[in-house]
Amino acid sequence: MITTTSPAERLLATSVLIIGTGGAGLRASIELAEQGVQVLAVGKRRAHDAHTTLAAGGINAALGTMDPEDSWQQHAADTLRESYFLADPAIVEVVARGAAQGIAELESWGMPFAREDDGRISQRFFGAHRYRRTCYAGDYTGLEIQRTLMRRASELRVQIVDTIYITRLLTSDGRIFGAYGFDIVDGTPVVIHADAVILAAGGHTRIWRNTSSRRDENTGDSFRLAALAGGKIRDAELVQFHPSGLVEPSDVAGTLVSEAARGEGGILRNALGERFMERYDPERMELSTRDRVALASYTEIAEGRGTANGAVTLDVSHLPREQILNRLPRVYRNLIDLQMLDITEQPIEVAPTAHYSMGGVWVRPEDHGTGVDGLYAIGEASSGLHGANRLGGNSLIELLVYGRITGADAAEYVRGIGSVRRDPTAVGAARDEMQRLLTGSGSDSESAHETPRRLQRALRDVMTAHAGVVRDEAGLTEGLEKVADLEDRATRVTAHPDIAGFDDLAHAFDLAGSLLAARATLECAIERRETRGCHNRSDYPEQNDDLTGNMVWTPSGGVVFEPLADAPEEFRLLAKAAADDSVAGKLVE
C-alpha cells in the first residue's frame, strides 16, 4: 500500500478499494488477495462488529446432506417464487448454482457449522423452503461467518481500515478512479486512488423509525455513492419489514426478537387478548411468512387493537422455562438487558420493523458491475436476488457467491487497464462538499443551524408515517413533499466535531444518503401501483401482472419500469408449481 501524508489530506493508493467490511466486503477482499491483487477495505464501523454479525438463523445451499433430493434448481425455484417473481432469474441462478461452493469455502477456512453425529453439515428448514437446506452455527451464524472471513483475510494480510467514512466516489469520463472521505477519529480528509471500487456498504432500512439496524448502519450510503457516480437504484420500494421488533426503550426501537420465538411456539395476541393470526393465516398462524405476519400485526395496530405503545404482544411464557433458556438464550438475555423483562413470565411488546433492503444498486447478473466502469456493488447494497420478499437464509449465501465472483472480475478488470485519468476537479468537488458541512459556508451563517441528528429523526418519522408496511398514493405524495422540505433544511446543516471525534460529520453524510434513499423509495413506491409481497398498496390491493418487473431510479431521470425476462424452464416450472405451505417441522423464515 502506497501512503503519503500532507497536513491537509492523506493519500492512499490501491488497485481495488472495497467500501464496507462486513461479510460481502471481506469475501471480495479475500478473492482479490488470493489472486495477488492489491486491495484495501475501509468501513465506518469496527469490522468485528459489522452488520453481518447480527444474522442469526442460517445460510442456504442445496447440499442435500439431510434431503438428498434437493437441488440448485429447487433452491432457485423457491427463491424466485418467494420473490413474487420480481427477482432477476439470472442472479437467482448464479446464487443457487454457486451456493455449495460458498459453503465449502467457509468450511475450508474453519467455519464451525453445526454437524450431525456422522460429521455431515446439519441443515434445517426455513420458511418457504421445500427442503432442509439452511446450514447454521447455533443462532450465531452471521457472527461465525464474520469471524471466519476476518480470520482468512488476516491470513492473507488484507489491509482493513475501519475508521474511514467514504463521502464520494471519484469518477472521470464515466470511469471510477477512487474515492474521497475522512477519518472518523481525527477528521483527516482521505483521498484514495483506486482502479476499481466495490460497494459493500449495506442498504437503507435505517431511514424508518423502527429498524433492526443500529444507529450508524444502513443509512443509504451505497445508494448515494452509486447514484452520484452515475449508477442506478433498483426497487428501492421493496423493503422487508420483520414482524417482531421491540418498541421500547426508544433508543433501541426495532431491535429484533428472533423468529425462533415464534418457531418455538410463541403466540401473537392483540390488546384484546385475541390470537389474531387466526384471521390472516389460519393454517400457518404465527409460522406464516414475514410479509404476512408483518401486515397482520400492522393491521391490528392500525385498526385500534394494539397496545398503548402501538404494538402487539408475542408470548412465550406458556413454554417450559428450560426450553426458553436453552432454545432462546439471546432473546431471553436481550429482554432482561433492555427492559428487565423476564420472557418466561411476561409477554413481549413487538411491532413491524424495517429489516432488509431487497432493492439496492442496479447490477449486472454476471459480475455485479453497475454500468459505471470500475464500480461494482454486492450484498445488501445491491439488488436483484430477493424481489418482493426475501427467502430466509439467502442473504448470507449471496455475500459469499457474489463476493467471490465480483472480486475475480474486479481483479481481471484492473489487470486490463492501461491508464487511468484522475480528475482534480472531482477531488476538489468532494473536498468542497466536506468543508461546507464543517464551516456552514454553503448557506447564510445566520441560518446554518440545522443539526443532522434532528433531521434524521424527522426523516424517519416521515418514512414511518408515509412509506411503512401499508402505503397509498396520497400518503406517498405527502411524504415526498415532506422530504423536499427536509432536503431544503439539510442545506443549512453544519457539522460540529468535538474532542470525541468526527461523528457529527458522519451523521451529516448519513443524512445525505438517507434523504436520497427516501426520495428513491417514495418515487418507486408511487409507481408500483399494486400489492405484491412486502409492498402493500391499500389503493391498489391486487397484484398487477403487467408490473412483473423492476422500478429503476436515478436522481435526474426518476423512475423507469424495466420488465423482467422469464426464468429458464428448468426452475421456472418448479417455481410455478404448488408450494408446500405446511409448517410441520419447519422454522419460520
Q: Are 216 and 533 in contact (CB under 8 A)?
A: no
Exposure string (b/e) for 497-525, b if CB count within 10 Å is 16 or more?
A: beeeebbbbbbbbbbbbbbbbbbbbbbbb
User: What phi and psi values does residue 349 have, to the nearest 5 degrees?
Assistant: -85, 125
Kindly state the cell numbers that stand for 147: 469471524
Q: Are 334 and 185 in contact (CB under 8 A)?
A: no
Residue type, 236: A
Any catalytic annotation for residue 262? yes
For residue 486, give the nearest of 462, 510, 521, 522 by alpha carbon.
462
What is the longest distance spanned by two Cα atoms in the chain? 72
Report how far residue 282's alpha carbon sits from residue 289's, in angstroms, rounded to the nearest whole number: 13
Q: Which of 129, 133, 168, 242 is catalytic?
A: 242
Report how far residue 518's alpha carbon sits from residue 227's, in angstroms, rounded to the nearest whole number: 13
Place of cell 468501513: 43
Report how far residue 338's alpha carbon sits from residue 356's, in angstroms, rounded to the nearest whole number: 23
Q: Are 100 and 61 in contact (CB under 8 A)?
A: yes
Q: Which of 75, 204, 224, 262 is catalytic?
A: 262
Q: Are 548 and 85 in contact (CB under 8 A)?
A: yes
For residue 492, give the nearest of 551, 530, 545, 437 by alpha carbon.
437
Instruction: Give just the sign of the alpha carbon dihedral 216, 513, 6, 188.
Output: negative
The DSSP element (H or E) to which 228 belongs, if any, is helix 221-228
Report how far residue 33's alpha carbon sits from residue 36's, in angstroms, rounded to the nearest whole number: 5
Kindly state the cell numbers that stand for 338: 433492555
Give the β-pairing of 10-19 and 39-42.
parallel
Kindly state the cell numbers that stand for 205: 432500512
Q: Which residues are tagged catalytic?
A: 242, 262
